[in-house]
Homo-oligomer: A and B are copies of this chain.
């Protein structure tokens, strides 16, 4: 059970979060908890059939649930077609973002040639380099490094130890988690008789509004043009976004994904964990990749795409691998059989047909 920072009645939560109220709605909600751990004063939610067993005995004061479960609910309910969305809204009301108090920690190192809005907070051991502009109510957490000429839009929050390299531009309401590196050099190399020559990386990284970037995710600057992450894009942890990638509005990408250079990903896509996307591809809108798929061609048709072996007991897997290696042989044998059978038919006395 997690104690909330604010208190609301059930009725008020229903009204403000777009759900239908079932029951009196007078109880005051001051906590959130799973169905089976809730105490009076808590709100809970039911979004997955496998937790339905806990509904009848819940001690929560209210439950967010779907119409189909409403009849079984022993307490007040917030009834909705989208319990998880309503839960997100309720949680945001009960746990509002903390208000940023303007100021700067004495240990922060802020260039005199940086512009920091007085309503922004610059945390301990942070570094703000010359030419950087930090907007209103921005939170720069401990240990962050904001490179020269970076822009951080209003109401953005860099939790801690975020590194923005020279010239990176963040939009408004960005949320950047620790260890993220934005604006590092792209991997641009030209081969000179066996030695690699570095290709200067001259572009920048631009993030739109409402972008979230996960812990230890890296986004490289463009080689000539910019790497662009559009409004509402959500990136999980440990994602690698190479130079000149463009990611369209409201696309969500799970952890450990790698996207190679100059690939364009459309809007409203979802990319499962561990997916790899080759360079110079175009992925259309509403394309969805399941986990660990390797994407080596452009995809224009909306839909779900996959590509990976299923998990098997290692013994069976070793056998499958042997057979995959031999697929060519199997195909040859199949063709030989077909031919042999046809030859036989041809040779067989006509009367048998």
| Chain A interfacial positions (CB closer than 8 Å to B) | 2, 32-34, 37, 82, 84-85, 87-89, 91-92, 94-95, 105, 107, 109, 123-127, 129, 141-143, 145, 147, 159-161, 163, 165, 175, 177-179, 181, 184-185, 187-192, 194-200, 202-203, 210, 212, 214-216, 218, 220, 224-225, 232, 234, 236-238, 240, 242, 250, 252, 254-256, 258, 260, 268, 273-274, 276, 278, 289-297, 299, 303-321, 323-328, 330-331, 333-334, 337-338, 340-341, 344-345, 347-349, 352-353
Q: Which residue of B lies closest to A82 (CB)?
A: B190
Query: What are some 20 contacts across the A-B interface (CB < 8 A)?
Result: A88-B198, A91-B199, A141-B145, A142-B145, A143-B161, A161-B161, A175-B198, A179-B218, A216-B218, A237-B240, A240-B273, A295-B311, A297-B311, A304-B314, A305-B312, A320-B325, A334-B334, A337-B337, A337-B341, A344-B345
Q: What residues of B have a CB within 8 angstroms of the CB of A326 in the complex?
A: 331
Q: Which residue of B lies closest to A44 (CB)?
A: B224
Q: What residues of B have a CB within 8 angstroms of the CB of A242 in the complex?
A: 236-237, 255
Q: In the complex, what distance in Å separates the CA atom of A181 from the CA atom of B210?
A: 22
In the A-B complex, the 7 residue pairs with the closest CB atoms: A88-B190, A306-B317, A184-B215, A304-B314, A323-B327, A109-B124, A256-B258
Q: In the complex, what distance in Å separates the CA atom of A306 from the CA atom of B318?
A: 8
Q: In the complex, what distance in Å separates the CA atom of A305 from the CA atom of B290?
A: 20
Q: What residues of B have a CB within 8 angstroms of the CB of A202 in the complex?
A: 2, 32, 91, 95
Cβ-defined contact, A324 with B320, below 8 A? yes
Given the known interface contacts A258-B273, A340-B341, the answer about A237 and B328 at a Cβ–Cβ threshold of 8 Å is no
Cβ-defined contact, A273 with B276, below 8 A? yes
Q: In the complex, what distance in Å separates the CA atom of A276 from the CA atom of B195?
A: 24
Q: In the complex, what distance in Å separates the CA atom of A289 from the CA atom of B297?
A: 18
Q: A311 contacts which of B184, B194, B255, B307 (Cβ < 8 Å)? A: B307
Cβ-defined contact, B310 with A296, below 8 A? yes
Cβ-defined contact, A200 with B165, below 8 A? no
Q: Which residue of B lies closest to A290 (CB)?
A: B314
Cβ-defined contact, B190 with A178, below 8 A? no
Q: A187 contacts which of B161, B254, B319 (Cβ < 8 Å)? A: B254
Cβ-defined contact, A214 with B187, below 8 A? yes
Q: A276 contacts which of B163, B240, B292 (Cβ < 8 Å)? A: B292
Cβ-defined contact, A215 with B218, below 8 A? yes
Give me 12 other A-B pairs in contact (C-beta within 8 A), A82-B190, A289-B311, A307-B312 excluded: A37-B225, A95-B200, A125-B145, A163-B178, A177-B185, A184-B214, A216-B216, A274-B274, A276-B292, A323-B330, A330-B331, A330-B334
